[in-house]
Amino acid sequence: MTGFPDPDTRNPITLTGGVAHQGTVFLRAVIDHPRWQVGDYSYASAHTPPQDWAQHLAPYLYAFSPEKLVLGRFCQIADGVQFITASANHRYDGFSSFPFAVFHRRIADAPSLPAPGPDTVIGNDVWIGAGARILPGAHIGDGVIIGAGAVVSGIVAPYQIIAGNPARVVRTRFAPDVVARLVALRWWDWPIDHVLRHEAAICGADIFRLERAAADLSGKA
């Protein structure tokens, strides 16, 4: 009905002449990794498309890693973004941070390895600018915008704009009451037809129309 690409489409952008743009992918279609959790319609772009998008975006997240990388729906990931997940960590509470176990391969209970680290969680509709680095255990709220080259750690509340190294809040995108209403609406969980039907309200920041759209959807349930 909508003509919008299915979330399992590898290359969802079509260039002039009907050629698929190889540098942009819906991540759900290209990532088959046990430690990734990817929401519908989240995409990544790269000027030079990698063969392995999972390794390209999260080079320290291994199949045997204890932590996960969780990515919500409708996220936008620019060229050069990397998720530095917890398996990249070294132990640094002792006299040396050297990872002896990586080289002698006696991994089980090796004293030079840190304890398992936390998951990295990215909310819905998050825009991550070119070259940003997301550090282990970061929890990024819904609707956050991350500036190019930012280095992000910790918890970022929904609908903040952050930038810099270390990343700091530049401003809040909307008034607190509007943020609370948006988080409650969860438009990203609507069927894609309903999302597109109300594209103008979503992109035009019309909270009243969105709330009416949510009520219409609830009435049909």
CA distance 150 to 78: 12
Which pLDDT does position 2 carry in this prediction? 59
Active site residue 47: no
Which pLDDT does position 1 carry in this prediction? 46
Q: State mean pLDDT over 2-10.
A: 89
From 21, 33, 47, 90, the catalytic residue: 90
Structure confidence by residue, pLDDT tens digits, 119-128 = 999 999 999 9
- Residue 13 is which amino acid? I
> What percentage of the chain exceeds 70 in pLDDT?
98
Least confident residue range of 93-97, 102-106, 159-163: 102-106
Domains and CATH numbers, the chain: 1-173 (2.160.10.10), 174-221 (no CATH)
Q: Say what the alpha-carbon torsion angle 28, 29, 34, 37 is, to the nearest 10 degrees.
A: 0
